[in-house]
Every structure is written in C-alpha cells, then in structure tokens.
Structure 1
Amino acid sequence: MKAAAGETAPAKVAAAGREVATPHGVARYQLDVPADHGGTLLVLGHGAGGDVEAPDLVAVHDAALARGVAVALVTQPYRVAGRRAPAPAAQLDAAWLAVIAELRGALDFATLVVGGRSSGARVACRTAREAGAARILALAFPLHPPGKPEKSRAEELETGVPTLVLNGDRDAFGVPGERPHVRVHVLPGETHALSKRTATLAAAAVDFVAGG
C-alpha cells in the first residue's frame, strides 16, 4: 500500500492477506500490523463499485499504521468475483461479519474499530453492535441517493456506538447531521470521492480511531 500524498510512510509492518469463505462467496482481506501495535484493529470496507485502493482508504490506512493501529482492508465477495454491482445489504453484512470473525482468530487485539467508505460505511454501521465494535469510522456516508433526499438512510447511523462521519460539503449523496454518539466532520470542497484533502481527512480519522 503506497502512502497518500502528504503522508509519511508507515512504520515497518507484518502484512498478511487471505481469502475467507463467507455465506455469500469468498471475501478477501489484507491485514497490516505495525511493529508498535498498541492493541487496536481498524477494519475498513470499500464503496459499492470501488475497491480498497480508494484515496481516502489509502490515506487512513497509512496514517493508522503510523499511529500503531493495525488495519484490515476488506474486499466483499462480489468484488472478489469481479462484479461491480453490489450484493444485497443482508449479504454484505453477513460476509463482513464472517471476515471479522476470521480476524479475531488472526490477530490478538483489544479494541475493534469498524468503518469504510460509502457502502462500506453503511455495512460497518449496520453490523457494529453484532461485531462488538467500540467505534465506527464512516467515510463519505451516503445519506441518500443523489437527488432523492426523501430516501434518507440516517437511521443506519443510530447504533449507539461512538461514530465519526467524514463527508465533503459537495457530496451529492448528502451530509448527515450530528446526533447522540455521532460526530460529523465536514471537509470543504470535497465531493463523495474524498480525494483532495486526504492528509486532513486521515488526521481527523486516526485521532478518533486511536481513541482521541
């Protein structure tokens, strides 16, 4: 994983990647553990038609490693199979939980933080309590389909788990409002891609992930 622009290279890590059989096909994860791992694992999922190389995920991955946080980047079964159209929500959630169960056997950690960008953020929110997550990191949370604010997904943020939402003020999918347990950090000039101010985004994200 290459460092994003403006980020320093992460500390030396022990990396492991493997495939996981889930109820809905084979998922894949890349697990990176820094030499100074402090006991927190951050698990991140990708957007609906994207992958784990998205600029915001890369930036958070690298910044987290530099802070002693282990990071697992998860690829859903439909993307492993080469499809761009996402699977139904229930299938995404089940596959995600299967990967987290696998990670519990692969790494000794004390604190689990779950998150992702867009669709991945929704999966993390929907499954956070069942996964036993201490915190949720939601990047570009898609509040509603573009042009359809009446179809709000705000209820998915109502987990009771401390959550940080990072969205751009030009996001066509909308920007969630703050609520109990949910902090919202709006990045000026950013669209749904969250690709312009990745260093600022990663700094805010990792402060939260690390317990700040």
Structure 2
Amino acid sequence: MTRTVEGAAPRGCSQSGESQGRPRLGLADPGGLPGGQLASPATQIAMATSAVAQTTVSVDGGRLLVVPDAGQRLAASAGGAAGGALGTPVVVLLHGAGSGTDTPLLRRLSELLVVAGVTVGRLEMPYRVAGRKAPDRPARLDAVLMAAVAALTGELTGGTPPADGTPRRLALAGASMGSRVAVRTATAVGARAVLALGFPLNPPPPRPSLRERPGTPASRRPSLRESPGAPARDRPSRQGELSGAGVPVRVIQGERDAFGRPEPDPRRGVEVVVVAGADHSFKVRVRDGRAAEEVIEEAAVLGATWLLRWLDVPSSPVGGLEELVSRGAAGDPSCAAAQTGS
C-alpha cells in the first residue's frame, strides 16, 4: 500500500446543533468573491473543500482518495488516540461502471459531507486505474472495497489498522454499479447505512446481434425484448439485493431511469426518493425545464442530509447554507413527515 498527500491545509469548518431532527450543513467562514460579494452557498462549500489536504492510497489495484474534514486531520496531527479516530464519521464513495468518482453528483456529495465534518474516501476500482473499460468481477469489486475500508482505518489511526477495528460511524454511497457493491458488502464492513444513487434495478437488455437493414427477413430481426428500449418489467429484478442489505438504504432514483425504479421496503429499511426529470445518470433534457445543476444539487443534498443523520453528525445552519439544506429537506419525504408530525 502506498500513499501520497495533496493539497493545502484545510480551512475552518464547523458543526454543532440540530434542527427539526435533521442535520444541517454550515461553514464558519462564508467566503467571498472579488469585489466584496458573498459567494453562493454552493460556491462557499466548493471553496472550503478545495483547500483540504487529500491523501491518495493505493489499495489492491484500486485507488482511494481520502478527503478528511478539518477536525479529523488536526486530531491526527496532534497524535489523537486510535479509539477517538475510529469514531470519526466516514463515507466511502463508489462509482458506476462507466464513470469514476469525479462525476458532478459524487463530487457535490463529497463536498457537502466534508464541510459537515465527515471524512470521505473516493474509491476508484482497479479496472479504471488500469485504464480498462470492462468492470472487474463482482467478487473482485467487493474485495477491493473491503480492503479500502481497512486501509482507510489505517489512515484514521495513523498506522496499521487494529485487528478488531473499523470506523464505527461508517456509511457507503454508490452510484449505479457502486450501489450494488455497497449493499452487498455493507454488513461485512460494518456500515451503518447505504446511499444508492441510481440503483440499476433491472439488468440492461442484450444488444441486438443483427442490425435492422433493408431486406433483412423479419424472422432474423431483433425482437422487442432484445432491443435497448425493452420495458424494465420484462427483465430480471435486483430488488432482493436492496432488501437483503441488512442496513438502512436510501435509494435516490431519477424519474426517467431506464434501469427501472426499486420499490420501497419499509420492513427492511429501504426507502426510495425520486428526482423529477432526471435519468439514470441524473442528467436532464431541455424540455424537462430543469437546470442540470439544480438536479445535481437536489440529489446531493437529499443524500447528504440522510447520511449525516445515520452518522450522528450534527451541524448548524450558517449563512446561505440554511436555504440550501432547507431546499433539500423540502423534497425529503422522511424529513417532511418529521416536520409535520405525521
């Protein structure tokens, strides 16, 4: 395992208090722009997190980018006890099959978590590090995640991970393929909860083996079930993976996700939140009347507020971030129920 450190010293962030039973995000320093203008809430968070020192750890062929919160890094430099370090709230982010952890949604989620006092580990799987397009086998992906959690524990404790220790406040967040890895390994790594962004409920249909060309006999043309537009209901379901996670799961799914939409399973702790106008990658069409940034912000805030609750991370609203998180909570069914007393 090798490691490198990038970036400057972290800027000040703060967290304290709680409102409406839900965590709020905040900054001690609201930041500013040239000419004395105050930065927007989104810009404030990006400015604060861009200066945080980042550590890159090579683990089992993969690459783990560790973005610590200010308090954890200061405690580590002061020689804090391992027991205290293992109490640090941690979220490991897992990417989808065709993208890395630098997608707009995963980057935004990382920013919101770091500024709230969470250490974030962004895991790139071995096939991406090696420059391959085809994902590794599921068992390989699962093993790399478990190795990454062990390596992250070592980062938190400043040395070799203790035999019986993993972060006590750990959660996993995955996009598409990464969400499947997360639900499969959640109990094995001791995660408290899983955030699934665009869970691929139904496998993609097989690609047509023969193009429809003029003159091709009808008997040889691809059937409707084989076409990319085949209804999701005609394909096998992975609902059982969500229900079998063994920990609470929040699924944030685009309204137009071609992979289908999971069903909530309250008995197993599975809830589903739908983002209007978004597709599987949380992209929108012009005719949907929603800005791409708005959709990313909605999904990221819905995910961050839920993760913070399960990680027991309180934080106080400061400046324009009060509005930012309130907007996310307004679209959060569980938060709305808590606020109305239902």
TM-score for both structures, normalised by structure 1: 0.90
Aligned residue identity for 1:101: A
Of the three residues 185, 190, 196, the one matched with 2:278 is 190
Aligned-residue CA RMSD (Å): 1.8
User: Which residue of structure 2 aligns with residue 202 of structure 1?
Assistant: 300
How many residues end up aligned between the 2 structures? 204
Can you list the C-alpha shifts for 1:114-158, whole angstroms capped at 9, x where unaligned? 121000010011000001000101111100124343311111112
| 1:169-180 correspondence to structure 2 within 5 Å | 169-179=255-265, 180=268
Of the three residues 90, 107, 110, the one matched with 2:168 is 110
User: Which residue of structure 1 aligns with residue 101 of structure 2?
Assistant: 52
- Distance (Å, rounded) in 1 between the aligned partners of 2:246 and 2:199: 17
- The answer to whether 1:151 aligns with 2:209 is no
- The answer to whether 1:18 aligns with 2:57 is yes
- The answer to whether 1:181 aligns with 2:269 is yes
| Alpha-carbon contact 1:145-1:173 (below 8 Å) kept | yes
| 1:92-111 correspondence to structure 2 within 5 Å | 92-108=141-157, 109-111=167-169
Can you list the C-alpha shifts for 1:165-198, whole angstroms capped at 9, x where unaligned? 1110100011111103011110000001114311
* Cα displacement (A) at 1:6: 6.8
- Distance (Å, rounded) in 2 between the aligned partners of 1:34 and 1:117: 22
- The answer to whether 1:61 aligns with 2:110 is yes
% identical equivalent positions: 38
- Distance (Å, rounded) in 2 between the aligned partners of 1:101 and 1:81: 22
Aligned residue identity for 2:237: S
- Consecutive aligned runs of 4 or more in structure 1 exceeding 6 Å deviation: none
- Distance (Å, rounded) in 2 between the aligned partners of 1:71 and 1:6: 20
Aligned residue identity for 1:18: V
* Cα displacement (A) at 1:203: 1.0
**More displaced, 154-163 or 143-152?**
143-152
| 1:2-41 correspondence to structure 2 within 5 Å | 7=42, 8-9=45-46, 10-11=48-49, 12-20=51-59, 22=60, 26-37=61-72, 39-41=88-90
- Distance (Å, rounded) in 1 between the aligned partners of 2:191 and 2:66: 17
- Structure 2 segments unaligned to the other structure (5+ residues): 1-39, 73-86, 158-166, 205-229, 284-291, 311-342
- Distance (Å, rounded) in 1 between the aligned partners of 2:102 and 2:237: 27
Pair 1:50–1:6, CA change in 2 (3 A): farther
Can you list the C-alpha shifts for 1:75-110, whole angstroms capped at 9, x where unaligned? 001111101111111111111111111111111543
- Distance (Å, rounded) in 2 between the aligned partners of 1:93 and 1:168: 25
* Cα displacement (A) at 1:211: 1.2
Higher Cα Rg: structure 1 or 2? 2
Aligned residue identity for 1:135: A
- Structure 1 segments unaligned to the other structure (5+ residues): none
| Alpha-carbon contact 1:45-1:73 (below 8 Å) kept | yes
Which is richer in helix? 2
| Alpha-carbon contact 1:115-1:125 (below 8 Å) kept | no
Which is richer in strand? 1
- Distance (Å, rounded) in 1 between the aligned partners of 2:71 and 2:261: 35
- The answer to whether 1:163 aligns with 2:198 is no
User: Which residue of structure 2 aligns with residue 88 of structure 1?
Assistant: 137
- Distance (Å, rounded) in 1 between the aligned partners of 2:259 and 2:177: 11
